[in-house]
Amino acid sequence: MTKHSGSSMHRVPSSGAVEHGYPSGHLGHLTEHEEHALVEFKTLLEEKGLYQPGNPPSHDDPTLLRFLRARKFVPEDAYGQFSETERFRSANQIEVLYDTIDIESYEASRKLYPRFTGRRDKRGIPIYVFQIRHLDSHAVSKYEKSTETTYSKAKTDGKTPAKLLRLFALYENLTRFAQPLSSECVDRPHPETPITLSTNIVDISHVSLRMFWNLKAHMQAASQLATAHYPETLDRIFIIGAPMFFSTVWGWIKRWFDPVTVSKIFILHDHDVLPVLTSFMHMKDIPKSYGGELDWDFFEDPAWDDEIMRVCQWENGYTTFPPGPLYWRQIDDGKRLECLAVGSSDGKERKDRVCTITRAYPPKTAEDTLASASVSQTDDATEGEETFATPPTEKAVLNGEVPMANIAALSIAEGDLQ
């Protein structure tokens, strides 16, 4: 058992850990091998009837890349996970679920899972906070019972528990609302690269050992759902407020989650919370309860940052995003996005346009691609360069990583937590 002095930030290692963090493996930062894998993956999916090219295509590149990253850019392996996800989505009509879910039910679900603060970290990745202490057995039991009632028009496969289908709606909000919104904010490194991740602060202060055990099924379900059907949407989990007994129970708690998820968990001691969080986030985007400047509480609506408010052009009387499910849809050949508020109230469905965004980096059209290829063929200076590849010598001024001087202190042996 090895002990280290200095920082007590605990990284739990895993053989399944992602080797390279954002933006490696993301659009605009692909190696030649990864570029080829994406092309092969699209071809394979199209042959299997699971992908249709076009403007817009049935699935965008950032979504396809999530599945490829999860399977180490092996198209055949990614196909297996992707096809199972598509089968599950079809069997449970996930899009219908999200479009018609009762807004009050949806908002009730948000109180039991990580909540978007309306802020982003230094790389532009949305920040979520999850407070555990209010999830006692009574609250969880009451919630699970409430999910048994009909709350959407979606038909299900009859096997998936209703509480998990509500959780699907929350993941839909992450991938169809929060991440696309963050992608359109350009006050970040690599503004042309879509955001497909989330940064999470998990507050486990005032949680008893009994509560941890009672929450096993609740937390396992969320993790398994993300791993199976929403891969590569998690960047880091910062666990704060760990009680004294936590180091002795971590050995069995970590078995609730898959190795890749465990590899992304950092356990912070009280005196390390602010130094570590400020390595990834600005003070103005860290809630006051964790030492920052953001006046935001877990049960409050998101406190939208200035850049989000700047890019949104509000319509139909809206001046902020309303409660309930929301998603973005391309308009004007992809040059703009519209935000639609959906869901239902008292059985009446809504589909309101809330705002639009003029895209700083609209997707390339077929004509753009052909023109780019023509220029590339006649330009000796760029001969052989990949369409999306970043020059090897280019390095972001700010990439959100912990300063190199601290790297050695951040990785510790698994035995240090015992």
**What confidence tens digit (pLDDT) does each residue in 296-338 have?**
999 999 999 999 999 999 999 999 999 999 999 999 999 999 9
Contact 166, 154 (CB under 8 A): no
The set of residues, in sequence order, having a beta carbon less than 8 Å from that of 233 and lying 6+ positions away, is 66, 171, 174, 175, 179, 196, 197, 198, 226
Query: What digits encode the pLDDT tens for the residues 13-51?
Result: 333 333 458 999 999 999 999 999 999 999 999 999 999
Tell me the helix, strand and coil percentages in the chain, rounded to 5. Answer: 45, 15, 45
Place of tokens 């295509």: 57
Q: Of 132-146, 337-351, 360-374, 399-413, which one has max mean pLDDT? A: 337-351
401 phi, psi to nearest 5 deg: -80, 160
Read off the tokens for 258: 């898959």
Detail the DSSP E strand segments found in 40-142. 115-120, 126-131
Strand partners of residue 129: 115, 201
Q: What is the pTM of this model?
A: 0.84
pLDDT in the model for residue 365: 57
Q: Which of 107-121, 137-151, 236-250 has the highest mean pLDDT?
A: 107-121
pLDDT tens digits for 180-209? 999 999 999 999 999 999 999 999 999 998
- Given pLDDT bands bounded at 50, 70 and 90, which one contains residue 92? very high
- CB < 8 Å & 24+ apart, contacts of 412-415: 412/2, 412/4, 412/10, 412/11, 413/1, 413/2, 413/13, 414/12, 414/13, 415/1, 415/2
Mean predicted confidence (pLDDT) in 82-90: 97
* Mean of pLDDT values over 111-135: 96
Residue 404 has pLDDT above 60, yes or no: no
Neighbours of 109 (CB within 10 A): 22
Report how far residue 262's alpha carbon sits from residue 245's, in angstroms, rounded to the nearest whole number.
19
> What single-letter DSSP state applies at residue 411?
B
Residue with the larger pLDDT of the pair 278 and 159: 278
| C-beta of residue 280 within 8 angstroms of C-beta of residue 400 | yes
31-64 burial, b if ≥16 CB within 10 A, otherwise e?
Answer: beebeebbebbbebbeeeebbeeeeeeebbbbbb
For the cut 50, the answer to whether the pLDDT of residue 114 exceeds it is yes
Least confident of 51-55, 212-216, 352-356, 392-396: 392-396
How far, CA to CA in Å, does 260 sit from each of 13, 19, 61, 210, 232? 9, 10, 22, 26, 10
Neighbours of 206 (CB within 10 A): 12
pLDDT above 90: percentage of residues in the chain? 67
Report CA-CA distances (Å) from 221 to 87, 197, 230, 311. 19, 19, 13, 35
Confidence category of residue 10, pLDDT binned at 50, 70, 90: low
- Among 2-11, 40-49, 102-111, 141-150, the least confident range: 2-11
* pLDDT at residue 345 is higher than 80: yes
Q: Which residue has the tokens 């929060």?
A: 178
What confidence category does residue 90 fall into, taking pLDDT thresholds of 50, 70 and 90? very high
